Amino acid sequence: MGADTDPSPQMARLLLFDIDGTLLDTGGAGGASLLDAVEEVLGVSREKLPPLDLAGATDGGVVRKLFGQTGHDLTDALVRQYLDVYLKRLDARLNHESFVGRVLPGIEKLLPMLQGRDGVDVGLLTGNVRAGADAKLKRFHLQRYFLEGAFGDDAEDRNLLGPVALQRMNAVTGRSYTAGEVIVIGDTPKDISCAHAMNARCLAVGTGHFPATSLAAHQPWQSLENLADAEKVCALLLS
């Protein structure tokens, strides 16, 4: 990372959060809903498919893989039908009485601490399609903290999402953030790679499938086991 990625304390901050494994855990509702749609729309039993690898993936990339595994062409009409069913099943699972998802430690305290700070704007950089991101955040009443962002229906390659998020956040805030003022907060090596691709910093957190020690090997700016100490995390992000 170049020296220009280390902003002075006076510089603004654009904080881009991943969702799954970083902000919240849906208890498997997301993956199960993707497989629900495979069975309903593509006509293939989930038992016939290999396990889903969702860590850091985009929904667009997952859909492409599932269509290939089930022998279906990636036509616009069939993808729309698939995503419509996925979103309906996701909403049902998120709101079912058996739902066991949770907000991850520190998040409910950290986000209000960041909101409204002078020179600080908070957005999303997630592999979820926008509607799926909205559903998950609304389930936990977190949507109000995020101005805009980039989503899994913007690009299949996660490394292409950073510039999209930057452009949208600049537009909605009226600022002109540079990559050196951006911190990506995520829980997978792909989040780190995404930050590197846009020459931004990454705060990697071990609250998903990868412990902080494993994430540190991918050279994030910082790595933490979790965000439970909201005061410490807030100070780190604004330092």
At residue 16, does pLDDT exceed 60? yes
- What pLDDT score was predicted for residue 135? 98
Average pLDDT value over all residues in the chain: 94
Task: Quick: pLDDT tens for 22-74.
Answer: 999 999 999 999 999 999 999 999 999 999 888 989 999 999 999 999 999 99
Would you place residue 109 in the very low, low, confident or very high pLDDT band (cuts 50, 70, 90)? very high
Question: Of 162, 164, 209, 217, nearest to 55 (Cα)?
Answer: 209
- What pLDDT score was predicted for residue 5? 46
Residues paired with residue 150 on neighbouring β-strands, in sequence order: 125
What is the model's pTM?
A: 0.93
Would you place residue 101 in the very low, low, confident or very high pLDDT band (cuts 50, 70, 90)? very high
At residue 6, does pLDDT exceed 60? no
- What pLDDT score was predicted for residue 11? 65
Pairing status of strand 102-103 against strand 24-25: antiparallel
At residue 155, does pLDDT exceed 70? yes
Domain boundaries 3-26+102-238, corresponding CATH code: 3.40.50.1000
Give the list of residues 6+ apart from residue 218 with CB closer than 8 angstroms, or none. Answer: 189, 192, 193, 204
Question: 42 with 65: CB under 8 angstroms?
Answer: no
Domain borders along the chain are: 3-26+102-238, 29-94
Angle at CA of residue 128, ends 125 and 131, nearest 5°: 110
